[in-house]
Protein backbone atom coordinates (compact mmCIF):
# COMPACT_ATOMS: atom_id res chain seq x y z
CA UNK A 1 0.00 0.00 0.00
CA UNK A 2 1.06 3.54 -0.71
CA UNK A 3 0.70 5.86 2.26
CA UNK A 4 1.18 9.52 1.49
CA UNK A 5 2.37 11.94 4.11
CA UNK A 6 -0.18 14.68 4.79
CA UNK A 7 1.39 18.06 5.39
CA UNK A 8 -0.20 21.15 7.01
CA UNK A 9 -2.77 22.74 4.73
CA UNK A 10 -3.71 19.38 3.26
CA UNK A 11 -6.14 16.67 4.09
CA UNK A 12 -6.67 13.21 2.61
CA UNK A 13 -8.38 14.66 -0.49
CA UNK A 14 -5.37 16.69 -1.60
CA UNK A 15 -3.55 19.98 -1.08
CA UNK A 16 -5.72 22.73 0.35
CA UNK A 17 -8.96 20.73 0.22
CA UNK A 18 -11.34 21.99 2.88
CA UNK A 19 -8.91 24.73 3.95
CA UNK A 20 -11.04 27.61 2.67
CA UNK A 21 -14.10 26.41 4.57
CA UNK A 22 -12.23 26.33 7.87
CA UNK A 23 -10.76 29.77 7.24
CA UNK A 24 -14.21 31.23 6.56
CA UNK A 25 -15.44 29.70 9.83
CA UNK A 26 -12.61 31.41 11.72
CA UNK A 27 -13.24 34.74 9.96
CA UNK A 28 -16.94 34.42 10.74
CA UNK A 29 -16.25 33.87 14.45
CA UNK A 30 -13.84 36.80 14.57
CA UNK A 31 -16.44 38.93 12.79
CA UNK A 32 -19.12 38.02 15.33
CA UNK A 33 -16.83 38.85 18.26
CA UNK A 34 -15.65 42.17 16.79
CA UNK A 35 -19.18 43.15 15.80
CA UNK A 36 -20.60 42.40 19.23
CA UNK A 37 -17.78 44.25 20.98
CA UNK A 38 -18.30 47.24 18.68
CA UNK A 39 -22.03 47.25 19.36
CA UNK A 40 -21.49 46.95 23.12
CA UNK A 41 -18.93 49.76 23.12
CA UNK A 42 -21.15 52.10 21.13
CA UNK A 43 -24.24 51.26 23.20
CA UNK A 44 -22.36 51.87 26.44
CA UNK A 45 -21.12 55.23 25.20
CA UNK A 46 -24.55 56.28 23.93
CA UNK A 47 -26.83 54.90 26.68
CA UNK A 48 -24.45 54.76 29.64
CA UNK A 49 -21.43 56.47 31.10
CA UNK A 50 -18.73 54.09 29.90
CA UNK A 51 -18.41 51.62 27.01
CA UNK A 52 -19.40 48.02 27.67
CA UNK A 53 -17.53 44.93 26.53
CA UNK A 54 -13.81 44.13 26.58
CA UNK A 55 -12.19 46.55 24.15
CA UNK A 56 -12.40 49.52 26.54
CA UNK A 57 -10.19 47.63 28.99
CA UNK A 58 -7.35 47.59 26.44
CA UNK A 59 -7.88 50.68 24.26
CA UNK A 60 -9.59 54.05 24.48
CA UNK A 61 -11.80 53.98 21.39
CA UNK A 62 -14.13 56.87 20.46
CA UNK A 63 -17.80 56.20 19.66
CA UNK A 64 -17.34 56.37 15.84
CA UNK A 65 -14.55 53.80 16.24
CA UNK A 66 -16.92 51.43 18.01
CA UNK A 67 -19.49 51.93 15.26
CA UNK A 68 -16.82 51.17 12.64
CA UNK A 69 -15.86 47.99 14.54
CA UNK A 70 -19.52 46.97 14.54
CA UNK A 71 -19.84 47.48 10.77
CA UNK A 72 -16.58 45.67 9.96
CA UNK A 73 -17.43 42.81 12.31
CA UNK A 74 -20.90 42.44 10.83
CA UNK A 75 -19.49 42.43 7.29
CA UNK A 76 -16.94 39.73 8.20
CA UNK A 77 -19.60 37.63 9.92
CA UNK A 78 -21.99 37.84 6.96
CA UNK A 79 -19.19 37.06 4.48
CA UNK A 80 -18.06 34.06 6.52
CA UNK A 81 -21.59 32.74 7.03
CA UNK A 82 -22.49 32.99 3.33
CA UNK A 83 -19.24 31.25 2.44
CA UNK A 84 -20.04 28.41 4.82
CA UNK A 85 -23.53 28.03 3.34
CA UNK A 86 -22.11 28.00 -0.20
CA UNK A 87 -19.57 25.33 0.78
CA UNK A 88 -22.32 23.19 2.35
CA UNK A 89 -24.51 23.47 -0.75
CA UNK A 90 -21.63 22.33 -2.99
CA UNK A 91 -20.86 19.28 -0.84
Q: pLDDT tens per residue, the chain (91 residues)?
A: 556 666 665 555 555 555 556 788 888 899 999 999 999 999 999 998 888 888 888 888 998 999 999 999 999 999 988 876 776 676 6
pTM: 0.68
Phi/psi region, residue 50 (left: phi>0; alpha: psi -120 to 50; beta: rest), is beta
Structurally, the chain folds into a number of domains equal to 1
Q: Is residue 6 part of a domain?
A: no
Q: Is residue 14 part of a domain?
A: no
Phi, psi of 75 (to 5 degrees): -65, -45
pLDDT for the residue numbered 42: 92
Q: Is residue 2 part of a domain?
A: no
- Domain span holding position 25: 20-90
- What angle do helix axes 63-90 and 19-47 make, rounded to 10 degrees? 150
Q: Under a CB-based contact definition with an 8 Å cutoff, are residues 83 and 76 in contact?
A: no
In angstroms, the CA 80 to CA 22 distance is 10
Q: Is residue 85 part of a domain?
A: yes
Q: Is residue 5 part of a domain?
A: no
| Residues in the chain, overall count | 91
pLDDT for the residue numbered 8: 64
Amino acid sequence: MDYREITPGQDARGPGAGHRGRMKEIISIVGWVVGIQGALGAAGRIFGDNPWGLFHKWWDIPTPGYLALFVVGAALAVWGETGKKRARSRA
